[in-house]
Structure formats: structure tokens, C-alpha cells
């Protein structure tokens, strides 16, 4: 959460920073700002609202500078406002800083500073850290770099900070713990950002900064140190990402672009791993650690939000195919309780961003207890990818829309392959079933394509129900987590209250909500639960609920009970969730846009939740 950008070199810094902030806006859009330094003059400009509002307010300002930092905020300490926007200026006005994260012990530090006579212009923890740094710098008569190092040893919490100093014409000091930082290496210039998207068009050579590292960045020099002031050799990585992947490419929103990308992202995810003709799955992350995986006493899946829903589906699949007990837990719960984790346990961590703070800290805790971590991550080189002992990338490409879509189907494809690979080695799957699932999986991109061709049908359904105040989503078995996901998607981007339930659970409470105004979405594909879910549909129909169903092509029963239905190609029930979720993604998109909501930046949300 919060996006940060920095530049030092010979170009004009402001356009680089502004463009970068637009790319990082998915990380928060409560306010934004820039600090620009030229000839000893440090100017800070900031504005509540989206980056476009900052851009407008900048007309007429002096933007001539070759060094600067910029920030787009997801508010934690202090309401979204101009004065709480970053960058913050220090008490003397000589330093400017941006921050992504939370300083947990800010209150104590603030009190100390107030006792010394400091006054604060904002309600943020960031301004506290900044003045703390300046206080150390002044008292110790030290350089900014030294003061930052001393201050960071005393703070708890998470941070990625960038600082510039009036008297230091070309240097950015940066440091991270828990919040991401990438440094792009150009010729006589450096770019700093929360992820690679603001950097990609200038250079493909990047350094991912690690926790507890501090960077001193000048146009021609990058020095990395740890907090003990020892130098670290920067490890340069080549970015495997194209500019087109982070642009809208003619679509109205990133979300719809990403929904429509799914045939190719799923194909990319399967490519080189799944060979249905040969009847093999090749996943180096699984194969290299196969003993650990087949001998696991149990598997725990840790994730948040949509990724947690993928985990629930994986639980059903892994237990069915591999006969290993699986528990799925919200990472945020796991990290604060006293869970039992044993040496033989395998943890599967699922995360699109690879930076979700709750998941990351839960993994650190599990690792300390000797668990083996297998990461299913989309963002290459991210913190969760790096902390994992092994793993498999989802290869969905950058996901920019705040609502996760293509990452989810990528996660399902990876988890299905992992389960099949383990089951094959463990001998818990018959050859026939293995081969048929491989063939089915191979057909998924084509089937997703077929579903997307009928997107207009979902649009019509969305227009019909867009004014409902509540929705219920019901599914059974493998499609129960899809119901949860459908409800989450709708809530996020249409602001309509929605709940997902196992269809049979409905009669234990939620049925009380049903009347002629309540749309109930059934995921009612042809599987072993079909007759049961048809009974649940009857129960809703009898109470005059409006039924929208996702059915299998050729099914005549469920459509007959539905006010509206959408048919998807037939699929094995283990594979079906990758298909059934697509119309639900479209439904939420079309409802959200019909209501005039900025679906890529829904209120209060941000992608990459790097705060607890
Ligand atoms: C929902 C959504 C969130 C994320 C959650 C975890 O559309 O995007 O619920 O799934 O914040 O994020 P990652 O997968 O990045 O760990």
C-alpha cells in the first residue's frame, strides 16, 4: 500500500515521477505529492485525491529539477487530506521524506519530540519518523545517512522510505523493512519505486532491496549497506516484463483488460509445465522437493482475500488427489495466534503481489518453526517469493486493477498442477484420472475464451440487477469458494453488499434474507452436487428470490429454475472453478461500471496490502 517513486539523474525528474505515480496508483489513491530539489531549493507539492488532481494542481508550479521523490497514499495514520499527504517536510524544512508502511512505536517517539519542542503539521507517523531523523542528525552532527541508520534501529513496524536533503543536490537515501523497494539502474541515472512498473520503460536492470538495507543513490553511484553500516554488493536482476503489460491497451479499465487476458495468462502459466500428450507435469519447484511434499504430515495454506479463496479450492483438490490433510488459514489470524507448526509441515503461501504484510509475517513465523514454505506468487522477485523455500510463479503478468482476476485463475492453474504432480509421485491418483485431468487443464484457455465471447450476455444481466442492495452467492463443493469470490468481487467494485455461502448452509440462516428483491447467484454446474444444488434453487424460487445461475452447457434443469442464466462449457468438477469464476468477474465489472464506479480504484481499497 502506498506507492513511492524517486529519480536522480539528468532528466527532468517530475515527468518521470508523475508517470510512475500513475502506474503505482493501484497501491493507494487517497492523496499524492512530490518533492523536487534544484539549486538548494526544496519544493514540496501535495494534494488530496488521485494523482490526476495533483497533476492539475501542479500547473504553473516550478517543476524544474533533476532529483525528486513522489508518493501516492493509502491512508493509515491520519485522514486523507492535503496536510497528511506525502512528502512530508522536516521541522527545519531541509529534509523531505515519503514512506510506505507503519511506524508502530511512533507515539512514544512523537511524545519525546513534542517534549523537545517539536510541532507537527500532520497526523502521520511519517512526519514523526522524519523529525526523529532530523533530531538525530542535528544532535549528533551526523550525515543524513547515519541519522537514518540510527533512527531505523529504534523504530518498530514496516517502512520503505525515500529522503532528499536540501544541501545534498543529487542523493536519495532509501531504506526498507517490510515494504518493497526496487532500484532501476540507468546510465548516469537511478530510478526508485515500489515495483518495477515506473522503471520498465527506462531500464531493465534492477536491484531488489532487502529488508534492513539502506541505499545511497546518486546518478552515477548506488551504494547498498545494512543497518550495521557494512557494504553489500547490489545483486542486479534483469526484468522480464514488457511495457505493454502495464498499459490498458485500448480497454476502458485494467480490470476488464485483465479479465480478457485470462486465456493467454492461463496458457502462459501452463506452458512448459503441462504436457498432456506426454502425460507429464514438469514443475521444478515441486520436483526438486518432492520427498518433502509427498511426506508432508499436513499442508497449511496461508493467504488473504482472493488468494485465500484459491487456497480453499486447493484444499479440496489436494485432499482429493493427494490424500494429505490440508488446513487453510487467513494469514492475519495465523500470525497472531499460537499455531502448531511442526517440522514436517508444508506451508503453501498464495499471493498475487508477494508483498502482503499479513502473509509475509505469517510465513516468517512458520519458517522459524521449521516449516517448509512453498510460494504460489505472481510478482516475480517479491518478498514472499524470496522467503519461500520453493515455489511456482503464476505468470499472469502485472495485475494492476485493484480487484484480483487473472492472478486468481493463475493461482488455481498452478495449484492444480502442484496437486497433480504430488499425487502422481505419491501414487494417489490413477493413470487414467491423471491423464484426463491433464487434458482438461490443457483445454482451459480455450474454454475461458469461449466464455469471454459471451461477455455481453453477462452485461445484460448486470444491467438488470445493478440496483439491488444485496446479493447472495451460493455454491457447493469446489464451487463454494467461487461463491465467496463472486461476493467479494461484487462488494469491492460495486459497493453492493454481497455474501457467499455453501448452498446447503443457506437454510441455516441466510434464507431469512430471501424475498423478491434479492438476487441469488447459484454456481450450479453439472457435478456430483448438481441435484442437491437444484433443490437449493427450488427453495429460493419458492421464496420468490431472483435466481441467476451459472450452469453447464446442455443443462436444462437449472436454467428452468432461473430468472437468468449463463452457460459455460462442460468441465471436470476439479477444473470448473477456473471457468465458473469468469462470469462472476464479468458480473461485478459490469455492475460496477454501470453504477459509474472507478472499478480500477474502488474506494478505500489498495492493491498490495503492506500494512497489517
Ligand atoms: C481482492 C483482492 C484482495 C487480495 C488480497 C491478497 O480482489 O485483490 O483480496 O487478494 O489483498 O493479496 P495478495 O494476493 O497480493 O497477497
Q: Which residue carries 502459466 as its cell?
A: 269
Kind plus residue range of the DSSP H or E element containing 157: strand 157-165
Contact 353 CB / ligand 1 (< 6 Å): yes
Contact 351 CB / ligand 1 (< 6 Å): yes
Rg (alpha carbons) of the chain, rounded to whole number? 25
Average pLDDT over residues 268-284: 94
- Residue 169: per-residue pLDDT: 94
Average pLDDT over residues 86-107: 96
Helix (H, G, I), strand (E, B) or coil at 19: helix
Percent helix / strand / coil, the chain, rounded to 5: 40, 25, 35
C-alpha of residue 432 to centroid of ligand 1, in Å: 36
Residues across the chain: 612
Helix (H, G, I), strand (E, B) or coil at 303: strand
| C-alpha dist (Å) from residue 337 to 26, 329, 334, 365 | 31, 11, 6, 11
- Residue 54: per-residue pLDDT: 97
Out of 356, 403, 407, 489, give the residue to mutate to test ligand 1, the one with the largest number of ligand atoms within 8 Å of its CB: 356
This prediction has a pTM of 0.84
For residue 48, pLDDT beyond 80: yes
Q: In the structure, what pLDDT confidence band is assigned to residue 611 with cuts at 50, 70 and 90?
A: low
Contact 527 CB / ligand 1 (< 6 Å): no
pLDDT tens-digit readout, 407-437: 999 999 999 999 999 999 999 999 999 999 9
Q: Which residue has better confidence, 357 or 185?
A: 185
C-alpha 410/C-alpha 310 separation (Å) is 10
Please provide the DSSP assignment of 509-554 as one string: TGGGG-STT-EEEEE--SSTTHHHHHHHHHHHHHTTPEEEEEEETT
pLDDT tens-digit readout, 376-395: 999 988 899 999 999 999 99
For residue 207, pLDDT beyond 80: yes
Q: Is beta strand 41-48 parallel, antiparallel or unpaired with respect to 31-38?
A: antiparallel
Average pLDDT over residues 267-287: 94
pLDDT tens-digit readout, 426-485: 999 999 999 999 999 999 999 999 999 999 999 999 999 999 999 999 999 999 999 999
- Residue 344: per-residue pLDDT: 82
For residue 609, pLDDT beyond 90: no
Taking residue 67's Cβ as centre, other Cβ atoms within 10 Å add up to: 25
Cell numbers placing 442? 490443457
- Residue 359: per-residue pLDDT: 95
C-alpha 329/C-alpha 413 separation (Å) is 20
Helix (H, G, I), strand (E, B) or coil at 76: coil
| Contact (CB, 8 A) for 539 and 501 | no
pLDDT tens-digit readout, 139-183: 999 999 999 999 999 999 989 999 999 999 999 999 999 889 999
Show the domains of the chain with their CATH numbers. Answer: 3-245 (3.60.20.10), 252-442 (3.40.50.10490), 453-612 (3.40.50.10490)
Contact 331 CB / ligand 1 (< 6 Å): no
pLDDT tens-digit readout, 580-604: 999 999 999 999 999 999 999 888 8
Show Cβ contacts of residue 142 under 8 Å, excluding neighbours closer than 6 positions.
136, 150
Average pLDDT over residues 201-212: 95
- Residue 244: per-residue pLDDT: 78
| Contact (CB, 8 A) for 309 and 277 | no
Strand-pair partners of 98: 162
Q: In the structure, what pLDDT confidence band is assigned to residue 326 with cuts at 50, 70 and 90?
A: very high
C-alpha of residue 402 to centroid of ligand 1, in Å: 8
pLDDT tens-digit readout, 57-70: 999 999 999 999 99
C-alpha 594/C-alpha 605 separation (Å) is 19
- Residue 219: per-residue pLDDT: 98
C-alpha 465/C-alpha 468 separation (Å) is 6
pLDDT tens-digit readout, 239-271: 887 887 788 888 999 999 999 999 999 999 999
Torsion over CA: 313, 316, 317, 322 (sign): positive
- Residue 612: per-residue pLDDT: 67
- Residue 462: per-residue pLDDT: 98
- Tell me the catalytic residues: 2, 607
Cell numbers placing 262? 485470462
Q: Is the peptide bond before 87 cis (omega within 30 degrees of 0)?
A: yes
Q: Report CA 236 to chain centroid distance, whole Å.
A: 24
Average pLDDT over residues 531-544: 92
C-alpha of residue 609 to centroid of ligand 1, in Å: 8
Amino acid at each position: 500500500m502506498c506507492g513511492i517513486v524517486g529519480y536522480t539523474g539528468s532528466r527532468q525528474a517530475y515527468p518521470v515521477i508523475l508517470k510512475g505515480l500513475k502506474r503505482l496508483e493501484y497501491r493507494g489513491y487517497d492523496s499524492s505529492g512530490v518533492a523536487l530539489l534544484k539549486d538548494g531549493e526544496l519544493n514540496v507539492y501535495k494534494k488530496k485525491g488521485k494523482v490526476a488532481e495533483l497533476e492539475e494542481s501542479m500547473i504553473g508550479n516550478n517543476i524544474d529539477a533533476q532529483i525528486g521523490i513522489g508518493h501516492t497514499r493509502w491512508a493509515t495514520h491520519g485522514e486523507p487530506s492535503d496536510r497528511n499527504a506525502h512528502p512530508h517536510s522536516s521541522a527545519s524544512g531541509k529534509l523531505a521524506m515519503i514512506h510506505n508502511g507503519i511506524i508502530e512505536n511512533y507515539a512514544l517517539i512523537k511524545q519525546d519530540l513534542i517534549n523537545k519542542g517539536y510541532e507537527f503539521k500532520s497526523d502521520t507517523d511519517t512526519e514523526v519518523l522524519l523529525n526523529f531523523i532530523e533530531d538525530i542528525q542535528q544532535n549528533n552532527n551526523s550525515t543524513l545517512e547515519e541519522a537514518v541508520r540510527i533512527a531505523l534501529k529504534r523504530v518498530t513496524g514496516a517502512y520503505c522510505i525515500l529522503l532528499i536533503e536540501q544541501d545534498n543536490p543529487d542523493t536519495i537515501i532509501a531504506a526498507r523493512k517490510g515494504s518493497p523497494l526496487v532500484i532501476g539502474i540507468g546510465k548516469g541515472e537511478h530510478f526508485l519505486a515500489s515495483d518495477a512498473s515506473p522503471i520498465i520503460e527506462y531500464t531493465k536492470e534492477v536491484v531488489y532491496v532487502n529488508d534492513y538495507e539502506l541505499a545511497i543513490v546518486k546518478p552515477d553511484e548506488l551504494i547498498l549497506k545494512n543497518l550495521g553500516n557494512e557494504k553489500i554488493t547490489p545483486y542486479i536482476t534483469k526484468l522480464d516484463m514488457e511495457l505493454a503489460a502495464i498499459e490498458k491497451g485500448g480497454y476502458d479499465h485494467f480490470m476488464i483488460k485483465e479479465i480478457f487476458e485470462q486465456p493467454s495468462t492461463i496458457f502462459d502459466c501452463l506452458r512448459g509445465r503441462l504436457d498432456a500428450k506426454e502425460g507429464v507435469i514438469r514443475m521444478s519447484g515441486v520436483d526438486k522437493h518432492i520427498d518433502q511434499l509427498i511426506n508432508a504430515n499436513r499442508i497449511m495454506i496461508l493467504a488473504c482475500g482472493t488468494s485465500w479463496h484459491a487456497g480453499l479450492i486447493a484444499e479440496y483438490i489436494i485432499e482429493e488427489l493427494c490424500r494429505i490433510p490440508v488446513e487453510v488459514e487467513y494469514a492475519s489470524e495465523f500470525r497472531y495466534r499460537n499455531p502448531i507448526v511442526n517440522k514436517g509441515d508444508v506451508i503453501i503461501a498464495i499471493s498475487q503481489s508477494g508483498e502482503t504484510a499479513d502473509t509475509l509475517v505469517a510465513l516468517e513465523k512458520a519458517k522459524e518453526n521449521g516449516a517448509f514454505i512453498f510460494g504460489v506468487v505472481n510478482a516475480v522477485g517479491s518478498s514472499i517469493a524470496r522467503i519461500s523455500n520453493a515455489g511456482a510463479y503464476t505468470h499472469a503478468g502485472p495485475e494492476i486493477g485493484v480487484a484480483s482476476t487473472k492472478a486468481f485463475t493463475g493461482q488455481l492453474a498452478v495449484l492444480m498442477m502442484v496437486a497433480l504432480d504430488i499425487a502422481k509421485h505419491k501414487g494417489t491418483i490413477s493413470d487414467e484420472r491423471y491423464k484426463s485431468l491433464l487434458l482438461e487443464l490443457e483445454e482451459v484457455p480455450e474454454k475461458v475464451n469461449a466464455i469471454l465471447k459471451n461477455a455481453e450476455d453477462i452485461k445484460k444481466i448486470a444491467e438488470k440487477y445493478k440496483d439491488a442492495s444485496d446479493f447472495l452467492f451460493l455454491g457447493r463443493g469446489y464451487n463454494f469458494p467461487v461463491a465467496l469470490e463472486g461476493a467479494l468481487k461484487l462488494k469491492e467494485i460495486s459497493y453492493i453488499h454481497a455474501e457467499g455461502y455453501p448452498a446447503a448452509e443457506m437454510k441455516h440462516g441466510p434464507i431469512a434474507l430471501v424475498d423478491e428483491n434479492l438476487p441469488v447467484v447459484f454456481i450450479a454446474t453439472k457435478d456430483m452436487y448438481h441435484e442437491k444444488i437444484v433443490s437449493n434453487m427450488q427453495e429460493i424460487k419458492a421464496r420468490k428470490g431472483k435466481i441467476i445461475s451459472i450452469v453447464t452447457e446442455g443443462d436444462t434443469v437449472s436454467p428452468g429454475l432461473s430468472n437468468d442464466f449463463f452457460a459455460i462449457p462442460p468441465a471436470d468438477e476439479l477444473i470448473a472453478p477456473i471457468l465458473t469464476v469468469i462470469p462472476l468477474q464479468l458480473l461485478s465489472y459490469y455492475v460496477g461500471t454501470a453504477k459509474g464506479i472507478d472499478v480500477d480504484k474502488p474506494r478505500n481499497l489498495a492493491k498490495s496490502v503492506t500494512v497489517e
